[in-house]
Amino acid sequence: MIQVYRFNTGSCGGCDLEVIAALAAAADIDWAATPHEADVLLLTGPLTTDTKKAFMALLQELDHRAPIIAVGRCAIDGHPFGRGGVAVIPNLTVHLSLDGCPPTPTQIVEAIRTIAMDREDGAAGER
């Protein structure tokens, strides 16, 4: 079971609804109770000044161990809210940027599975 944790940084809610629909339809993906239990982190929203600080603190606490998917256009570059998203953090490793306003549940599920599979393949190669 792939465990995901969603971190909303001020979105309109459209991507969040699509993420909820995606997880409801996927038997192999479920919500992580905490970000510490997540296999994949989903970022929705444009990263406001305050949420950027909280998000970066969380990543530091997690030691960047869970891959990040930026879900939706505002998580990528802040559009239509202005500047923001992961584009304003040049040293942040985002494993996948899923464009759309919002992306479809199918796109979200495929992205989560791809990242989880890549992560498993990488862990197998380290053994």
**Per-residue pLDDT reduced to its tens digit, 44-65:** 999 888 888 899 999 999 998 8
Tokens of 52: 């950027």
| Nearest to 12, CA basis, from 99, 96, 65, 79 | 79
Question: What is the reported pLDDT for 123?
Answer: 60
CA distance 75 to 12: 11
pLDDT, position 127: 36
* CA-based torsion, 58, 10, 88, 30: positive or negative: positive
Phi, psi (deg, nearest 5) at residue 23:
-70, -35
Percentage of the chain lying above the pLDDT 90 cut? 67
Strand partners, 68: 41
Tally the domains of the chain: 1
d(CA 30, CA 101): 23
Q: Which amino acid is at 81?
A: F
User: What are the residues whose beta carbons fall under 8 Å from the beta carbon of 5, sequence distance 6 or more?
Assistant: 31, 32, 34, 35, 37, 38, 40, 41, 42, 66
pLDDT for res 122: 66
Identify the residue whose tokens are 């995901």. Answer: 4
Domain that holds residue 77: 2-126
Q: What is the CATH number of the domain that holds 32?
A: 3.40.50.12280
Predicted local distance difference test score (pLDDT) of residue 95:
94
Q: Where are the beta strands (DSSP E) in the chain?
A: 2-8, 29-31, 40-44, 68-71, 96-98
